[in-house]
Amino acid sequence: MSKRDFYDILGINRDAADDEIKKAYRKLAMKYHPDRNPDSKEAEEKFKEVKEAYEILSDSQKRAAYDQYGHAGVDPQAGGFGGGGGAGFGGFGDAFADIFGDIFGGGGRSGGGRSNVYRGADLRYNMEISLEEAAKGCEKQIRIPAVETCDTCNGSGAKPGTQAQTCSTCGGHGQVRMQQGFFSIQQTCPTCHGTGKVIPEPCSACHGSGRVKKHKTLNVKIPAGIDEGDRIRLAGEGEPGVNGGPHGDLYVVAHIKPHAVFQREGQDLHCEMPISFSTAALGGEIEIPTLDGAAKLKIPPETQSAQVFRLRGKGIKAVRGTTYGDLMCHVVVETPVKLTERQKELLREFEAISQGDSAKHNPRAKSFMDKLREFFE
């Protein structure tokens, strides 16, 4: 029976990159793995087919021969590979172990002496800052829990005066190879957990881990213009790596406290400013707050409630730029309360005069009443 095309077997294009080939192989190999499909002859045959296709296409020389001559170019009986190794399964153990070592926790070949080295985990710290601190920038100190090298054993994990010994199970490689029929799997050593060492007498301070929990204080520079949810990355301040791996990072996430006067929208600030009835009608000048102190705002005559005045450049600077946002002042005409009899008398007189030409003095009320009349008619 003729063989299927190797590219079709892996479900990839003929110009697929090496990482695409590896990804496709891992997916199919997991799907048809004998351990997941016990007593399935069909799955076993597909598994053999998939790994044969991967062995050919993952090798640049074999792939070139296959692309040029097809199956004949990689058939060991036809002299494929230029006299090199055959296309059978005998030479596949190492490639198979590398792929499944990644899946099941392995990180290298058992003969290479390489331990499982992992980067430390990233950490997150939620920091509350005021609107003024966010607008102008500042420097804050934070105290966070940390895992550091044990001072008692200098990170060895062994009791002072003793030392770790080579693991007898893996011979110090940190990996063991498990043979299962026609294929083998490289896994992390269950005895030393990939370190290649065992500690007969653990350190009493760190209990053999070589690390202890402490607290550390860090200085964090808050850039001007930082906004809600923005992150500051402190490289290398996360958890330490495993077996000498690099530290992770610490991400400080900014949370802006609610402000008594201002509300922030991006680079702009908004505030609500009450003005008197007389100021709204006759106009005048009021003093409004900004993040840099007080500022004067001219109120034109006949200003209506909820009208917005823009003060350019009185907002917040862009965190990655030099431009500033604006301050949007929303004026609210305040109805006077606790009036004296004289004030009430004057207002009644004012109302009587205004009613003489209501359409002129209250155009919005007239417009509304006209619309209301049209609605009912």
Considering 207, 239, 256, which residue would you say is the last residue of a domain?
256
Distance CA 368, CA 363 (A): 9
Examine residue 271 and state whether it is found in any structural domain, yes or no: yes
Question: pTM surpassing 0.75?
Answer: no
Considering 256, 279, 298, which residue would you say is the last residue of a domain?
256
Own/partner contacts of 150-155, CB < 8 Å, gap of 24 or more, are 150/203, 150/205, 150/206, 150/209, 150/210, 150/211, 150/212, 151/205, 151/212, 152/203, 152/204, 152/205, 152/206, 153/203, 153/205, 153/206, 153/210, 155/210, 155/211
Domain that residue 186 falls in: 123-256
Examine residue 238 and state whether it is found in any structural domain, yes or no: yes
Q: How far is CA 160 from CA 168, 208, 212, in A?
A: 22, 11, 16
- The answer on 140 and 245 residing in a single domain is yes
The enclosing domain of 366 has a CATH number of 2.60.260.20
Q: How far is CA 284 from CA 23, 134, 304, in A?
A: 72, 33, 13
pLDDT tens across the length of the chain (377 residues): 567 889 999 999 988 898 899 999 988 988 888 878 888 888 888 888 999 999 899 988 888 888 877 777 777 654 444 434 333 333 334 444 444 444 443 433 333 334 456 788 889 999 999 999 999 999 999 998 887 778 888 878 888 988 888 888 888 887 887 766 556 677 888 888 777 888 888 998 888 878 888 888 999 999 999 999 999 999 999 888 766 678 889 999 999 999 999 999 999 999 999 999 899 999 999 999 999 999 999 999 999 999 999 999 999 999 988 899 999 999 999 999 999 999 999 999 988 888 877 677 777 766 666 666 766 76
- The answer on 252 and 272 residing in a single domain is no
The enclosing domain of 134 has a CATH number of 2.10.230.10
Counts for the chain of helices (H) and strands (E), in that order:
10, 15
CB burial of residue 280 (10 Å; 0-12, 13-18, 19+): buried
Alpha carbons within 13 angstroms on the beta-carbon side of residue 147 total: 17
- The answer on 291 and 306 residing in a single domain is yes
- The answer on 215 and 183 residing in a single domain is yes
Considering 231, 256, 281, which residue would you say is the last residue of a domain?
256
- The answer on 146 and 62 residing in a single domain is no
- The answer on 237 and 127 residing in a single domain is yes
Total number of domains constituting the chain: 3
- The answer on 243 and 281 residing in a single domain is no
Length of the chain: 377
